[in-house]
């Protein structure tokens, strides 16, 4: 068994940061070295200042998660740093939480990985849909714990078993009822959003979704690709869409979906930014945000954004997990985007392309920060979107025909428009549904001719 402890002196920032927002982060792994980088980022995203960290390599202890000796080290670290919270980068059971908390100084809160993520989600939830999804995730997290507490309390005939409060069948029923009600409301919201997506497709728009792990630079890339006009998916205006906003190096700056019109040469594209993926999310948490992920699953094209400045193995792991998530339900093509190439040393990009060719055979390399490679990405988006149809309509010169020509300009790409004394010829490309509607409209113009 191995482990490490690091801490700062308690008086370093004690005056500027309230005790309850000072945290020690801890992690246990079965083998190898514990990586605490992500949990530090998550803690910062939730508003905590990390004042110490602790790790251990050993099998899980059923009572404490860590070994008892390591818990004693944790207690001393908390005292030395005057921390008000311990954030554990593991899925800690309710009784492990209780046991560890009992060994710590009074008033210190024990927070596991998923409770921390839910806290961040709750802080970012600015729309009814986002708030419902957070509430659903919290209830799904609590349900098995309520069931376990009720079972033990009933077995021991002690409603307040281990200080966990009264849990009985009525608590479980109430949680299940709330879950059902939230699901119903989310389904109603999802139906409205699907209708909105179909309206946009009928108007000639292709739908492109940005996906990928949090902090990969999706929001910065969206700002780089987007036109000035924004089309909010659910009235949740993303702060990065403000022209004065800075993209933040922080996890979960995007929780809801935000849609903007992208600048392309030929096609009208709506680009949607969604909540970022994060490692080791349990199934119940992913399911809680399923309606947000519908923007990815139901897109015409997905841009999978990867932080190219990370080590190859970290990139590979995230690519594999992202593919599992995307290809489970998504039928649209996926284009991998290696972002942040401005951070790479000469030759490093080529090495990473070669090492990751099996999971990212033809990535587009860009820097959303500097704009490098973005023109190539626009070309790739247009090339990968579903094929358009070509059509040539010969129309009589009339007010109705001019209105149709204007409509075709709005919904497709006109290659040529020519006029004779009594007719106008329009050669254009558009989505099959738009071509069909143009033919139908032309058929109502007498005398009309289509070739």
d(CA 34, CA 55): 6
Measured CA to CA, the distance from residue 249 to residue 115 in angstroms comes to: 22
Q: What is the pLDDT of residues 339-360, one digit of tens each?
A: 999 999 999 999 999 999 999 9
In this structure, the strands spanning 22-29 and 49-57 are: parallel
Other CB atoms within a 10 A radius of the CB of residue 322 amount to 22
Distance between alpha carbon 221 and the CA centroid of its chain, in Å?
A: 14
3-state secondary structure of 126: coil
Distance of CA 78 to the CA centre of its chain: 33
Rounded Cα–Cα distance for residues 368 and 106 (Å): 47
Phi, psi of 443 (to 5 degrees): -65, -25
Binding annotation for GTP? 212-219, 273-276, 339-342, 367-369
Own/partner pairs, 121-127, CB within 8 angstroms, 24+ separation? 121/252, 121/255, 123/46, 123/47, 124/252, 124/253, 124/254, 124/255, 125/255, 125/256, 126/236, 126/255, 126/256, 127/234, 127/235, 127/236, 127/256
Phi, psi of 210, deg, nearest 5? -95, 125
**Rounded to 5 degrees, what angle do the CA atoms 192, 224, 123 make?**
55
Long-range CB pairs of 149-153 (<8 Å, 24+ gap) are 149/94
Residue 369 to residue 182: CA distance in whole angstroms: 39
pLDDT in tens, the chain (451 residues): 555 656 654 444 445 789 999 999 999 999 999 989 889 988 998 899 999 999 999 999 999 999 999 999 999 999 999 999 999 999 888 889 889 999 999 999 999 988 888 888 788 777 787 788 888 888 888 887 777 666 655 655 554 444 444 545 678 888 989 999 998 988 888 788 777 777 777 677 888 989 888 788 988 999 999 865 444 444 343 333 333 233 444 444 445 568 888 878 888 888 988 767 766 666 666 666 666 666 777 788 999 999 999 999 999 988 988 887 777 666 778 999 999 999 999 999 999 999 999 999 899 999 999 999 999 999 999 999 888 888 899 888 888 888 899 888 887 888 899 888 888 899 998 878 788 888 888 887 865 444 4
pTM of the shown model: 0.64
Contact 335, 210 (CB under 8 A): no
Annotated binding site: 212-219, 254, 273-276, 339-342, 367-369
Binding residues for Mg(2+): 219, 254
């Amino acid at each position: 068994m191995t482990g490490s402890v690091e801490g700062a002196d308690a008086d370093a920032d004690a005056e500027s940061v309230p005790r309850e927002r000072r945290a020690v982060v801890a992690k246990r792994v079965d083998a190898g070295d514990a990586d605490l980088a992500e949990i530090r980022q998550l803690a910062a995203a939730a508003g905590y200042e990390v004042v110490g960290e602790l790790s251990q390599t050993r099998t899980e202890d059923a009572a404490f998660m860590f070994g008892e000796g390591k818990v004693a080290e944790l207690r001393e670290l908390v005292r030395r740093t005057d921390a008000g919270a311990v954030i554990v980068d593991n899925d800690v059971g309710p009784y492990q939480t209780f046991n560890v908390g009992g060994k710590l100084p009074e008033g210190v809160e024990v927070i596991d990985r998923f409770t921390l993520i839910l806290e961040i989600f709750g802080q970012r939830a600015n729309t009814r849909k986002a708030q419902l999804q957070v509430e659903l995730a919290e209830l799904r997290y609590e349900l098995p714990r309520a069931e376990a507490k009720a079972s033990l309390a009933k077995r021991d005939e002690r409603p307040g078993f281990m200080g966990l409060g009264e849990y009985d069948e009525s608590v479980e029923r109430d949680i299940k009822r709330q879950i059902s009600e939230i699901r119903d409301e989310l389904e109603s919201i999802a139906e409205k959003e699907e209708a909105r997506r179909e309206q946009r497709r009928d108007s000639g728009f292709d739908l492109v979704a940005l996906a990928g792990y949090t902090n990969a630079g999706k929001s910065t890339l969206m700002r780089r690709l987007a036109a000035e006009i924004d089309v909010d998916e659910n009235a949740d205006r993303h702060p990065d869409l403000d022209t004065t906003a800075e993209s933040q190096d922080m996890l979960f700056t995007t929780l809801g979906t935000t849609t903007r019109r992208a600048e392309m040469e030929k096609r009208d594209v709506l680009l949607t930014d969604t909540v970022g993926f994060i490692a080791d999310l349990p199934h119940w948490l992913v399911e809680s945000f399923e309606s947000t992920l519908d923007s990815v699953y139901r897109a015409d094209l997905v841009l999978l954004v990867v932080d190219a400045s990370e080590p190859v193995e970290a990139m590979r792991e995230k690519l594999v997990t992202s593919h599992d998530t995307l290809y489970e339900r998504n039928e649209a093509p996926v284009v991998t985007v290696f972002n942040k190439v401005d951070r790479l040393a000469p030759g490093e990009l080529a090495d990473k392309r070669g090492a990751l060719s099996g999971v990212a055979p033809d990535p587009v390399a860009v820097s959303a920060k500097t704009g490098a490679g973005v023109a190539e990405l626009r070309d790739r988006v247009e090339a990968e979107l579903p094929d358009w149809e070509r059509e040539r309509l010969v129309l009589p010169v009339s007010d109705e025909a001019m209105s149709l020509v204007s409509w075709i300009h709005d919904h497709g790409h006109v290659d040529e428009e020519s006029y004779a004394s009594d007719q106008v010829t329009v050669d254009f490309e558009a989505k099959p549904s738009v071509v069909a509607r143009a033919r139908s409209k032309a058929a109502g113009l007498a005398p009309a001719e289509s070739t």
